[in-house]
Amino acid sequence: MGDRQKTRISEILRDSIHNYSAQSVHDLEDDIFFDRLKFFITTVEGCRNEAYLDGIPDPDKKTQYISSKKFYALGQERRDQLEEICFAKYKQLPICTVGIGLNINEEKTQLYYDQLFKEPGLMKKVYYGEKNLTDEQVTLAYKDSIQTRYQEVCNIYGPDWKRLRANEKMTILSLYFNHPELANGKTTFCQLIRNYVKTGKTSYLQGAVREVKERSNVKRDPSLQNRRDAEAALLASYQCPTYTKPTHALSYGIQQAEIGKTRISPQSQGKEAYQWGKNKAYFIWRTKMDKKVRMEHLEREGKVYSRENPPDFLPGEKHHCRCHADPVPDHIVVQDPQAERKHFQLYLKRGSVRAEPFLRGAVR
What pLDDT score was predicted for residue 359? 42
Axis-axis angle for helices 31-45, 222-235 (nearest 10): 150
Q: Residue 345: CA atoms inside 13 Å, Cβ hemisphere, count?
A: 6
Element (H, E) at 177: helix 166-178
The DSSP string of 334-354 is EE-HHHHHHHHHHHHHH--GG
What φ, ψ does residue 90 adopt, rounded to 5°? Answer: -110, 0
- The helices-and-strands tally (H runs, E runs) of the chain is 14, 9
For the chain, the average pLDDT equals 90
What pLDDT score was predicted for residue 22? 82
What pLDDT score was predicted for residue 254? 62
CA distance 265 to 118: 39
CA distance 285 to 263: 9
CA distance 42 to 3: 14
CA distance 175 to 152: 13
**Strand segments (E) across the chain:** 48-57, 65-67, 95-99, 102-103, 255-258, 282-286, 304-306, 324-327, 332-335
Choose the weakest-confidence range: 13-22, 74-83, 202-211, 293-302. 13-22
CA distance 31 to 259: 27
* Domain ranges in the chain with CATH number 1.10.530: 3-47+100-239
Could you report how far apart the first and last alpha carbons of the chain are, in Å? 39
pLDDT tens track for 249-266: 765 556 789 999 999 988
pLDDT tens track for 214-244: 999 887 888 889 999 999 999 999 999 889 9
Average pLDDT of the segment spanning 190-207: 97
What pLDDT score was predicted for residue 355? 45
The DSSP string of 207-256 is HHHHHHHHHS-TT--HHHHHHHHHHHHHH-GGGSTT---TTS----S-EE
Average pLDDT of the segment spanning 318-333: 93
| pLDDT band of 349, cuts 50, 70, 90 | low
* Three-state secondary structure call for residue 123: helix
String of b and e for 213-245 (b: at least 16 CB within 10 Å)? beebbeeeeeebbbbbbbbbbbbbbeebebbeb
pLDDT tens track for 26-63: 999 999 999 999 999 999 999 999 999 999 999 998 78
Residue 224 CA from chain centroid, whole number: 17
Between β-strands 65-67 and 255-258, what pairing exists: parallel, antiparallel or unpaired? Answer: unpaired
What pLDDT score was predicted for residue 23? 76
**Contact between 307 and 283 (Cβ < 8 Å):** yes
CA distance 188 to 208: 8
What φ, ψ does residue 254 adopt, rounded to 5°? Answer: -65, 130
Q: Examine the pLDDT at 25 and tell me if it is beyond 90.
A: no
Nearest Cα residue to 11 out of 221, 164, 171: 171
Most confident stretch, 20-29, 148-157, 178-187: 148-157
CATH architecture observed for domain 3-47+100-239: Orthogonal Bundle (1.10)
Q: For residue 305, with 0-12 CB atoms within 10 Å meaning exposed, 13-18 middle and 19 or more buried, which class applies?
A: buried
